[in-house]
Amino acid sequence: MRLILLGPPGCGKGTQAKMLCRDARAEHVGTGDLLRDAIRRETSAGIEARREVDAGHLVPDEVVNLLIGERFGRGDRPSRFVMDGYPRTLPQAHAFDSILSGVGMALDGVVMMQVRDELIVNRVSGRWSCPKLGCKATYHIDSNPPARPGFCTDCGTGLVQRADDAPATVGERLVIYHRDTEPLVPHYEKAGILIRVDGEGDIGVVGLAIRQALATRGLL
């Protein structure tokens, strides 16, 4: 099983990727973990990434590609994997295609979790969490509200919202997603490996839909 999981920010693809990897004994490949690992090992991608991060910059495409290239160039490269958060642009998708073909691998499928923008905004901007160390309970105003509005049910601390989850920020992230990541859909559709899945249900329902779609294609 060699997969990419695609979907808008806040669609829950990280959670789905983890569950899928656990069930299918595949490696969950996320750029955040790879980045931390490369920085610790001081690989050439790690050193370059470190320089960008220290300068307060986002890690550029080329460095992210280098990071992925290092991971798949190693002898212990994953033979079964689910990519989460990479590739997120068309140049990255092209780079990943050549990284894989360079080691004689091919993707089996690209799962596209489809969730409408309105739903993402509602889901993400309704998230609140408890800032108290050792509690960190999370809530959602619609699906999992605290007993007393604005306060943690477990410890009574006032709830806070992550800056990333503010409605304006979510809107910006969606704009970037439509502009930069959606062009991957026709790319993988042309390759005949795009698998569309309804991503609007709860975690369990969506997880089941993904498994069924993969099983239908003999990938699970």
Give me the residues that bind Zn ion (CB under 5 A), please: 130, 132, 135, 137, 152, 154-155, 157
Min dist. Cβ of residue 134 to Zn ion (A): 9
Q: Are the C-beta atoms of residues 153 and 147 closer than 8 Å to each other?
A: yes
Min dist. Cβ of residue 156 to Zn ion (A): 7
Min dist. Cβ of residue 136 to Zn ion (A): 7
Min dist. Cβ of residue 130 to Zn ion (A): 3
Question: Nearest-CA neighbor of 129 among 83, 85, 102, 164?
Answer: 164
Which one, 42 or 154, has the nearer CB to Zn ion? 154
Token pair 């669609």: residue? 11
Which one, 124 or 130, has the nearer CB to Zn ion? 130
Which one, 155 or 215, has the nearer CB to Zn ion? 155
DSSP character string of the chain: -EEEEE--TTSSHHHHHHHHHHHHT-EEEEHHHHHHHHHHHT-HHHHHHHHHHHTTPPPPHHHHHHHHHHHHHSTT--SSEEEES---SHHHHHHHHHHHHHTT----EEEEEE--HHHHHHHHHTEEE--STTT--EEETTTB--SBTTB-TTT-PBPB--GGGSHHHHHHHHHHIIIIITTHHHHHHHTT-EEEEE--S-HHHHHHHHHHHHHHTT--
* Catalytic site positions: 13, 88, 127, 162, 173
Alpha carbons 170 and 176: distance in angstroms, whole number? 10
Which one, 128 or 188, has the nearer CB to Zn ion? 128
Which one, 146 or 207, has the nearer CB to Zn ion? 146
Min dist. Cβ of residue 139 to Zn ion (A): 10
